[in-house]
Amino acid sequence: MSTSSATLVALLHGPDQPGLVARVAGWIFARGGNILHADQHRDMEAGVFFQRIEWVPTGAPGVEQRDTEDFYAFAESLGMEAQVSVSTHRPRVAVFVSKADHCFHDLVLRWKAGDFACDLVAVVSNHTDLAAAAQGYGLTFYHLPVTAANKPEGEARQLALLKELKVDLVVLARYMQVLSADFLDQVGCPVINIHHSFLPAFAGGKPYHQAHARGVKLIGATAHYATRDLDEGPIIHQDVARVTHRHGVEDLVRKGRDLERIVLAQAVRWHLASRVLVYGNKTVVFD
């Protein structure tokens, strides 16, 4: 029985072919690993196989690094793309905020309660409104103004900070600035955004006002990876709430805030647990 406290998690996908599940399980068994959880999915239309598998490697020193490197080579031999993470690694996360504080407080309190296996290393904002709150939580706050006039320079400072802090994930907790294509090309890590509508409906600004004007009976929130195309990145999680003709815009905003908290937190949790596999502009989210 392994004495290692670490587990390895592999996400892999590629062309479907007979025997993939057996070959992956056999590779782990041959190295003395013990599989804790395995889940797979096949896209019937595209013929693509997806798998998430978690295992305990043998307790030998350095085995996690060795098995990680070797698994990439093994996946390549199967014609598969892979991502491998080690449970003992705590990703370094930066939270971007503006003035709205509901998602920010929710994320930080969940993190303090141990819900997220990560380290919050920075709170970055284009305003100073949440500086005292961040410092009250013991988090380092960085005020880096970004305006239409200084956007390239402002984003350059943000990118330099993220690189200096070796950030693994950026979470946009109602950060009310559109990240440029250059920023997203250079950031070097995933960026998760929360949009206050049930995408693809009501993309862009003032989605609750758009929803109210349209007379919808459901409003929603969407957590997705940010890409060059505004509000069109791969969707990680969504949820909805019912509304009626009796609800005004402020009612929609209030109900939406609750959705935004829950949806963003769940998306971040799944990402940190290596449960989200992106392919094309879609995701597979494993249970």
Q: What positions carry a catalytic annotation?
A: 231
The whole-angstrom separation of Cα 174 and Cα 168 is 19
Termini Cα distance of the chain? 26
Angle of CA points 39, 41, 46, to nearest 5°:
160
User: Which runs of consecutive H residues, i.e. helices, occur in the chain?
Assistant: 20-30, 63-77, 102-112, 131-136, 151-165, 181-186, 207-214, 249-272
Burial class of residue 104, CB neighbours in 10 A (0-12, 13-18, 19+): buried
Report which of 233, 245, 132 is spatially closest to residue 187, judged by C-alpha positions. 233
Largest CA distance in the chain: 64
| 102 contact partners, CB below 8 Å, separation of at least 6 | 174, 257, 260, 261
The whole-angstrom separation of Cα 143 and Cα 208 is 28
Angle of CA points 250, 254, 257, to nearest 5°:
135
Angle of CA points 89, 233, 38, to nearest 5°:
45
Which amino acid belongs to residue 61?
P
